[in-house]
Amino acid sequence: MKSKIIILSLILTFGFIVTANAQGLQQNSISSVINAYRFYKDIRSISIQVPTVVEIPFAADFIERFDFAVLDKTTNSFEPHFFKQETLVNEIPVSLSTNSNTGSANRMIDKDTGTYADFLLPENTQGQVQITLTSVNPIISSILTILLDNNVALPTSVEIRAFVDGQNRIVVANRKMDQQTIRFPQTTSNRWQVLFSYGQPLRISELRLNQDNATKSSVRTIRFLAQPDHSYRIYFDPDRLVKVPVGEAGNLVSAQDILAIPTVLSQNNPNYIIADVDSDEVPDIRDNCVSIDNANQRDINHNGRGDVCDDFDQDSLINSKDNCPDNPNRDQKDADSDGIGDVCDKEESRITEHYPWIPWVGIGFAALVLIILLVLTARATYSAKQKNK
């Protein structure tokens, strides 16, 4: 009987551990999603008796990245959704060209945040790219937004020019770039030039010139299938691409039997954590070495690349992975395995370099001698006291 009780206890304990681990993994998965979003809207008390497609307006919100996550707070799981945005009534078509030889430039205006234009970085200097936006009719604008691929830093500087009355005028003087949205005095032009300087590989997914003279559509909504007596939280405007785990979706495109929800107040997401892939407490968009921890952001040659991911000796190995960062040595030869490449190891001939255990033998021998002397001294002292008694 006792053995059965023990076995049952073990089974219950094991089941509890497995369940707890599964819940922990689910919570971590949810956290990794919601941490990327800057804002949310809470949807509570939906008056429905059966599962119903609901529609929530987002027309009044300024959004940089049109990506969303709908969390069912009752089941703690994400729901499929459909984002609907009507095309601007008189949006002026824009064409784009660059002074770079990249063949992917038009991806910056394809309205797909999953694609990007890739600009290569020169070996020992900062990169520069000039992007020209042209239109048949003049565009009135005061905002430029740049969206990046994941784990990519912002350009180090930006300059914006516009052709006005036959002159190439500076709209934004060359300055450090510290955010994705750039605001400037309202300007009218049909030719805009944007000059980016960058110290790390640059991948731009979208480049948007806001058209103040376009008639804005008031229709921008999210649809999802809501369940009776459930509450929901809609996260939006993430700072990076996020894969949201969802199940099978119904036909959310259909306009039949939709319940329109009144405008809901947006709130800042307290769980938002700005993208920082190397966890050095410097956000990716402002990190001069995105993938390697360098909280000090040291950049001794001021080329926009942090020293740990720069390549001073041009041997195709970044400094943090180069055992001799100031002298070319692609083979990384290190005869004595001390972490210093042979070409810059000034102590290569020392016997302790070849036999690193020798100093420890010396230290151990010295310690042994010291212990013996202490024992002899203690014994002599003890003997002297016995004789004096």
pLDDT at 173: 96
Place of tokens 């806001």: 210
CA distances to 96, 287, 336, 349 from 352, rounded to whole Å, are 63, 40, 10, 9
Type of residue found at 213:
N
pLDDT of residue 380: 76
In one-letter notation, the amino acid at residue 246 is: V
Q: Both 110 and 135 in a single domain?
A: yes
Give the least confident one: 22-31, 69-78, 135-144, 265-274. Answer: 22-31
What was the pLDDT predicted at 282? 93
Query: Distance of alpha carbon 128 from its chain centroid, rounded?
Result: 22
Q: Which of 118-127, 272-281, 369-378 has the highest mean pLDDT?
A: 272-281
Phi, psi of 80, rounded to the nearest 5 degrees: -65, 150
> Does residue 172 sit within a domain?
yes
Please state the rounded mean pLDDT for residues 298-303.
90
pLDDT of res. 215: 79
Residues 114, 200 share a domain = yes
* Overall domain count for the chain: 3
Confidence band, pLDDT 50/70/90 cuts, at residue 257: confident
Mean pLDDT, residues 214-240: 91
Nearest to 189 by CA among 157, 160, 217: 160
- Each residue's pLDDT tens digit, 58-82: 988 989 999 999 999 999 999 999 9
Provide the pLDDT for residue 8. 47
The better pLDDT of the pair 356, 37 is held by 37
**Mean pLDDT across 349-354:** 54
Task: Tell me whether residue 278 is in a domain.
Answer: no
Same domain membership, residue 118 and residue 178:
yes
Residue range of the domain that includes 44: 2-86+217-268
142 plus 72 within the same structural domain: no
Assigned domain for 102 exists: yes
| Statement to judge: residues 111 and 196 lie in one domain | yes
Using a cut of 0.85, tell me whether the model's pTM lies above it: no
**Do 78 and 152 share a structural domain?**
no
